Amino acid sequence: MPEPLMFSQNDPRGNTVTKTLKQIIAEMEPQHRRDQALIRKCIEGITEYAGQHAKGFPPEKLAELRVFVEGLASYWGLEDSNNYTCGHLIKG
């Protein structure tokens, strides 16, 4: 079995700390979940706003908004849920 990749960095006190990639990912996971939840709320707000004001938007602006929201959803792993894409609110 190959040796795991090791990464070294200095802690706030200047000590060198070495961790595996698996350890680093495990430490980052809680923040990622918080960030993902925040993006989910942002997308919900944007799609709600777009749904309420769709008739007043020029079609090209709605298409731009749809691309933006779908890009956010895709980046944050939310693209599989119809709740987090504009496809049902904004037809391009």
What integer pLDDT is reported at residue 91 of this predicted model?
44
Mean pLDDT of 49-66: 85
Mean pLDDT of 29-54: 90
**Whole-Å CA distances, 27 to 19, 20, 22, 30:** 10, 11, 9, 7
Q: Total domain count for the chain?
A: 1
- Residue 25's φ and ψ, nearest 5 degrees, are -60, -40
- 58 assigned to some structural domain: yes
State which residues form the domain around 73.
36-92
- 30 assigned to some structural domain: no
In the chain, the amino acid numbered 52 is Q
- 27 assigned to some structural domain: no
Mean pLDDT of 24-47: 92
What integer pLDDT is reported at residue 15 of this predicted model?
94
Interatomic CA distance for residues 19 and 22, integer angstroms: 8
Predicted structure pTM score: 0.66
